[in-house]
Structure 1
């Protein structure tokens, strides 16, 4: 990743945070984008100001996507990787999903990545190409009860990735969707009652649902993102990659 430049959304925690750490450790530089500035600043302090910049905002809010891309243009003048990682999850059946919850799920998990992609494409093209990695989910490939809006949004993100891949191949922009199973991240902190004990119990139960017998780690996801961002994957685009402990097989 020597001197390559990334924008990482949802960089304050979970997969985004670990990916930012690993990317910069590998010699890259990253724009840390997310909602909670204090978390981004704490990560920036670990990375050092020479390796990153912080932009707080909401990727689904008009103007915020353009803001972080412009900050990257001014600081480094190029972009090599957009990792559309940020997203939210609120469980509910179709019957119990309010229009507000539906709109929020689509805004966070689909519209936000679309707006980031649209804002980043000109800078990626100027460099002769780059990589967009969209963090979808196994629930974007197969539904489970009680996750209707999330499943719909993540399925849309898979198709957005494929559409963008075929449109941008001639510009040297590769686009890949990754579909994790359950990963040990803060997005699950509210599951099983909200306490740390119930959170661990949820992860253990979720791990038992995966053929490999455990949930994933943020390091495993970061390793995949770094591979996809590297020249070693230069013939990979339009792919939908499950990294899920085998749960999509069950």
Structure 2
């Protein structure tokens, strides 16, 4: 059984990788060009969920600005897009000056902004601690990247959206914004804040046709998750399989799982949705308290 599960997971990863990196010409059965003429900013778009989502937007005809501090990975992501579809803005979006620069880059390169995917997030391996053992510096850095940047990027992008008659903001939260685990006070606080900010901005800007939504991923196969799994005694791949078993669907997610939902929420097909979050978690939150192990003593 375990061998079959490992084989199945390995096959799924290979297929997901091929789909997310495949040329547009072989994307049969998918409506192409649904974002023609749209301009998208993806923060933290050089790696992980952000990279895959940025590439999917570009495949669907959008012009995409990747905002990231990682210049090499950012250039690699832009190179994977159709010619002329991407622009890299090197920025630390935890600060107002860089956020303003990203918006200015998007307007200069492509004429405006229609969609903002506030995706960037950090959870350093050194941040796993209770409140007493979390430093002020670590707290400020995590909240700065994971929450403050969403406020700042939205603040500076909204005027451009308004000039274009509306827009969409998608915020990357987490199931940890809904139900937490031990040892992640700053990360959990940042993601809970993202959900509250999403609801609040949705009310402020609904009349201006600016929709604001959030996604709550479960465990996704990203560089950040793999960096955390390095410290697991059973090794990275075994740890990822174990993480997958904690999700009812039996696997962890891929960047493409996230991208598919972000693109839907950003599209006209979701035009009656705002102020809500969508869990992309393989059924994790459906377990309720069991997801964090609460109640296990009564099992």
Q: Distance in 1 between matches of 2:286 and 2:133?
A: 28
Q: CA deviation at 1:198?
A: 2.0
Please say if 1:35 is aligned against 2:69: yes
Alignment map for 1:164-175 (pairs within 5 Å) = 164-175=201-212
Moved more, 214-223 or 186-195: 186-195
1:102: which partner in 2?
A: 139
Q: CA deviation at 1:48?
A: 4.1
Q: CA deviation at 1:12?
A: 0.6
2:86: which partner in 1?
A: 52
SS, match of residue 189 in structure 1: helix
1:3: which partner in 2?
A: 37
Picking from 32, 44, 48, the partner of 1:14 is 48
**With CA pairs under 8 Å and 6+ residues apart, which has the higher RCO, 1 or 2?**
1
Picking from 56, 59, 62, the partner of 2:96 is 62
TM-score by length of 1: 0.96
Kindly indicate whether the alpha-carbon contact (under 8 Å) linking 1:175 and 1:238 is maintained by their aligned counterparts in 2.
yes
1:242: which partner in 2?
A: 279
Q: Distance in 1 between matches of 2:245 and 2:251?
A: 6
2:113: which partner in 1?
A: 79
Please say if 1:126 is aligned against 2:163: yes
Q: CA deviation at 1:49?
A: 4.3
TM-score by length of 2: 0.81
Kindly indicate whether the alpha-carbon contact (under 8 Å) linking 2:59 and 2:82 is maintained by their aligned counterparts in 1.
no
Runs in 1 of length 4+ with deviation above 4 angstroms? none
Q: CA deviation at 1:201?
A: 2.0
Picking from 141, 157, 172, the partner of 2:194 is 157
CA-based RMSD of the aligned residues comes to: 1.3
Deviation string, structure 1 residues 13-47 (Cα, Å, up to 9, x no partner): 10100011111111111001101111111111121
* Higher Rg: 2
1:145: which partner in 2?
A: 182
2:220: which partner in 1?
A: 183
1:207: which partner in 2?
A: 244
2:148: which partner in 1?
A: 111
Gaps of 5+ in 2: 1-34, 288-299
Gaps of 5+ in 1: none
